[in-house]
Chain A
Amino acid sequence: MVSGKRGFRLEVRGVRHAFELRGQDLPVLEDVDFVAEPGEFVALLGPSGCGKSTLLRLVAGLEPSSEGSILVDGQPITGTDPSRIIMFQDPTLYPWRTVRANAAVGPEARGTLKRDAARIDAALALVGLADFAAAYPHELSGGMAQRASLARALVNDPHLLMLDEPLGKLDSLTRLAMQRELSALWQRAGFTALLVTHDVEEALLLADRVLVLSDRPARILADLRVETPRPRRRDDPRLVALRSEVLGLLGLAEAA
């Protein structure tokens, strides 16, 4: 079902963004500038509350940026588009829909429900939820709910998949399993992936490049390339060295 299509080339050019808080401008993004090549897995790593998630909302087109431009394959984005899908930290499944109906939200919204029926079933099978298609969200565990959310994203065959700390609330065992699944899935599917996380190990385990962001307002402190071949082991000495480097950049050198 995943077509192996080329991922988007994402360009983020001089993006600034500020929120208005009680009449005052609160800058959250300061001159963020980077390029994600087609099919690349880029992690945005930074302290919580630094504005990483805001950046994803801008790229998704849910909000316009205050300044700067975001280009997808050279075209400036104008709003949301099913080719750019976010997977949120919370599964945000609709509790009144079954797992399958939740996965079908994208096709249903675009009126392609019939045409995409096989694709929906395939996505559920891919995340291991084929047997739970008729279950309601309240009957799922946290990990299963997040898988259902992943299936809902994949059904749209995204060229750019944005992951907003999607594993942040899972228990550590489920988290490890889903990190491997995500990595394998991305390798097969060929979409460009943008992962927001504050987990250094997760970023190093999954991404080709790790962009380390500063505290709010977020700037890019470093652009680290992770060359270690996959599947990666978290105790790989090169990853351990990178981990110390990242923690140093974040001012947590003693924690390494």
Chain B
Amino acid sequence: MNSIAHRIGSANRLDGAASAAGFARPSPPLPVWAGGVVAALVWLAAAGLTHWLPDDDDLGRTDLLALAAAAIGVVILAAVVAVGRRPARRESRIGQLRAAGPWLVALALGLVAWELVTAKYAVLPRPFFVAPQSILEVFTDDWARLGESVLRSLLLVVPGYLLGAAIGFLTGVAMGWSRFVGYWVHPVIRLIGPLPATAWLPVAFFAFSSSRGASTFLIALASFFPVAVLTWSGVSAVGKSYYDVARTMGASPWFLVRKVAVPAAMPSVFVGLFMGLGASFSVLVVAEMMGVRAGLGWYMQWAQGWASYGNMYAALLVLAALCSGAVTLLFRLRDRLLSWQKGLVRW
């Protein structure tokens, strides 16, 4: 017994040592975050320019914008001091902050350029191109209505998306697992799937008594299709040997589905969830513009009707933040669930 254990142990060391965790290397102190210094200076310059250069027209919130830019500059400056010369690896928080330097500079320069061609010299035609302080004004003055629109949009898109994703996932698993389900469902999905969900708009508003029900149905349909197809393809791609292993050990079909097919298909399922998210948001905006009298889509259309383009851009910004936030959330979830996978795409 002893000698066996010894032999196994030594053999293990032989092929185990190399693949053990990477070597720890002491990292040298880094130079002061120069990118941060430059960014802070450019932000402070943008603040000064906004404040002291007179506006071409009577615009509100110019001083608030200057104040905000100055605040950003000060915060970056504080970060430069806080980061100091501490060593940091690329993936760490500090490492990521250091890498963001060029972007912080570019954003400030972008703000300066935008401010110059709109507020200061009115190079761009006025009603369609809006000064940054005008968008800021929307956030300070119309935040209640904007906030309510966000809430309404979320209350519509979240249940719809989740419903569609859940049904799509179950359909995909059933199609990949059962020949019978595959036989009957596959042609239907093939025919109906590629149709843009918005094409159902007239039918949906006719078939559902409430516009809320119709919109939920359309959003669910938009997320259903990619999730179903990619779950199905993920389950179909599971190697036969994965099933053989579990079968020889007495696994039931239910175990094979839950513990082999589904986990193996998860990377593909997440691609479907990601694609479904984009589709759901696009249907959301269309549905809100067409039938639902609330939400960000409606806000944008309403603002456009009054030619208040500042409000429209503000809503667009909020929508972008919302979509990007949802994708980030999804990718976080994936990173957590699929930590066993190597080489994940970062978001």
B249 contacts the other chain (CB 8 A): yes
Per a CB cutoff under 8 Å, which of B16, B249, B250 touches A141? B16
- B260 → A minimal CB distance (Å): 7
Q: A62-B248, A143-B11 are in contact. Are A88 and B241 (CB under 8 A)?
A: yes
Q: Are B340 and A141 in contact (CB under 8 A)?
A: no
A61 / chain B contacts, CB cutoff of 8 Å:
248
Q: How many A-B residue pairs have CB under 8 A?
A: 111
Interface pick from B2-10, B302-310, B327-335 = B2-10
- The answer to whether A141 and B15 have CB atoms under 8 Å apart is yes
Q: Given B7, B241, B251, which contacts A180 in the complex, CB threshold below 8 Å? A: B7
Chain A residue contacts of B12, Cβ below 8 A: 128-129, 144, 147
* Interface of A (DSSP majority class): helix
Is B179 in contact with chain A by the CB < 8 A criterion? no
Query: CA separation between A109 and B19, bound complex, in Å?
Result: 30
**With contacts A62-B244, A92-B241 known, is A174 near B250, CB below 8 A?**
no
Q: Does B18 contact A (CB under 8 A)?
A: yes
Quick one: which of B241, B250, B340 has the most chain A CB within 10 A?
Answer: B250
Chain A residues near B291 (CB, 8 Å)?
Answer: none
- Report the separation of the CA atoms of residues A126 and B2 in the bound assembly, to the nearest whole angstrom: 11
Chain A residues 32 to 63 lying within 8 A of chain B, measured CB to CB, are 57, 60-62
Q: How far is the CA of A202 from the CA of B310 in the complex (A)?
A: 78
Given contacts A109-B252, A143-B11, A174-B11, contact A94 B260 (CB under 8 A): yes
Question: For residue B245, which residue of chain A has the nearest CB?
Answer: A92
Please indicate which of the listed interface residues A109, A139, A143 has the most CB atoms of chain B within 10 Å of its own CB.
A109
Q: Which residue of B lies closest to A187 (CB)?
A: B4
Are the CB atoms of A110 and B250 closer together than 8 Å? Answer: yes
With a 10 A CB-CB cut-off, give which of B246, B247, B249, B342 has the most chain A CB atoms: B249
C-alpha gap A247/B175 in the complex (Å): 50
Would you give the shortest CB distance from A144 to chain B, in whole angstroms? 6
> In residues 60-111 of chain A, which contact B (Cβ within 8 Å)?
60-62, 80-82, 84-86, 88, 90, 92, 94-97, 105-106, 108-110
- In the bound complex, CA of A94 to CA of B259 (Å): 10
Cβ proximity bits B1-31 to A, threshold 8 Å, 1 near / 0 not: 1001101110110111011000000000000
Known contacts A80-B248, A85-B249, A143-B15, A128 near B259 by CB under 8 Å: no
**Is B266 an interface position by the 8 A CB rule?**
yes
> Which one, A94, A127, A156, A188, contacts B249 given CB within 8 A?
A156
- Interface residue tally of chain B, by bracket? 35 or more
User: B11 to A177, Cβ gap below 8 A?
Assistant: yes
- Closest chain-B Cβ to A133's Cβ sits at a distance in Å of 13
Is B248 within 8 A of A177, CB to CB? no
Q: How far is the CB of B2 from chain A (nearest CB, A)?
A: 11
Taking a contact as CB atoms closer than 8 A, the residue among A126, A127, A177 that contacts B14 in the complex is A177
Q: 1/0 per position for B224-253, CB-CB distance to A under 8 A?
A: 000000000000000101101111111110
Set of chain B residues within 8 Å of A85, measured between Cβ atoms: 248-249
Question: Does A252 sit at the interface, judged by CB under 8 A?
Answer: no
Answer yes or no: A138 CB below 8 A from chain B CBs: yes
Contact: A141 with B19, CB < 8 Å?
yes
Whether A144 lies near B15 (C-beta < 8 A) is yes
> Which of these, B5, B14, B19, B342, contacts A174 with CB under 8 Å?
B14
Is chain B's binding surface mostly helix, strand, loop or mixed? helix
Say whether A109 contacts B15, CB under 8 Å: no
Given contact pairs A86-B244, A106-B250, A144 touches B4 in the complex (Cβ within 8 A): no
Complex Cα spacing A84 to B244, Å: 12
In the complex, per-residue mask of B272-298: 1 if CB is within 8 Å of any chain A CB, else 0: 000000000000000000000000000
Q: Does B112 belong to the interface (CB within 8 Å)?
A: no
Least CB separation from B266: chain A residue: A96
The answer to whether B8 and A126 touch across the interface, beta carbons within 8 angstroms, is: yes
- Cβ-neighbour of A132 out of B11, B16, B259 (below 8 A): B16
Q: A80-B248, A82-B250, A106-B249 are in contact. Are A94 and B16 (CB under 8 A)?
A: no
Expressed in whole angstroms, the minimum distance between the Cβ of B283 and any Cβ of chain A is 32
- B264 at interface (Cβ–Cβ under 8 A)? yes
- B341 and chain A: residue at smallest CB distance: A95
* Interface of chain B residues 317 through 347 with chain A (CB within 8 A): 338, 340-342
Chain A residues in 8 Å Cβ range of B266: 96
Chain B residues whose C-beta falls within 8 Å of the C-beta of A94 in the assembled complex: 242, 260, 263-264
Chain A hits for B103, CB < 8 A = none
**Which residues of the other chain, A, contact B200 by a CB distance below 8 angstroms?**
none
In angstroms, Cα B8 to Cα A14, docked, is 39
Whether A177 pairs with B264 at a CB distance below 8 angstroms is: no
Contact assessment for A82 and B7 in the assembled complex, using a CB-CB cutoff below 8 Å:
no
Residue picked from B248, B251, B260, most chain A C-beta under 10 Å: B248
Question: In chain A, what residue has the closest Cβ to B250?
Answer: A82
Q: Using A88-B241, A109-B250, A110-B250 as known contacts, say yes or no to A177 and B16 having CB atoms under 8 A apart.
A: no
Known: A105-B245, A141-B16. 6 other contacts (CB 8 A): A60-B248, A86-B248, A109-B255, A141-B18, A156-B249, A177-B14
Identify 26 residue pairs between A and B in the complex whose beta-carbon atoms are under 8 Å apart, listed by A's number. A80-B248, A80-B249, A82-B248, A90-B241, A92-B241, A92-B244, A92-B245, A95-B340, A96-B338, A105-B251, A106-B250, A109-B249, A109-B251, A126-B5, A128-B11, A132-B16, A137-B340, A141-B15, A141-B19, A143-B11, A144-B15, A144-B19, A152-B245, A156-B249, A174-B14, A188-B1
B interface, CB within 8 angstroms of A: 1, 4-5, 7-9, 11-12, 14-16, 18-19, 239, 241-242, 244-252, 255, 259-260, 263-264, 266, 338, 340-342
**A-B residue pairs, 3 tightest by C-beta:** A128-B12, A106-B249, A177-B11
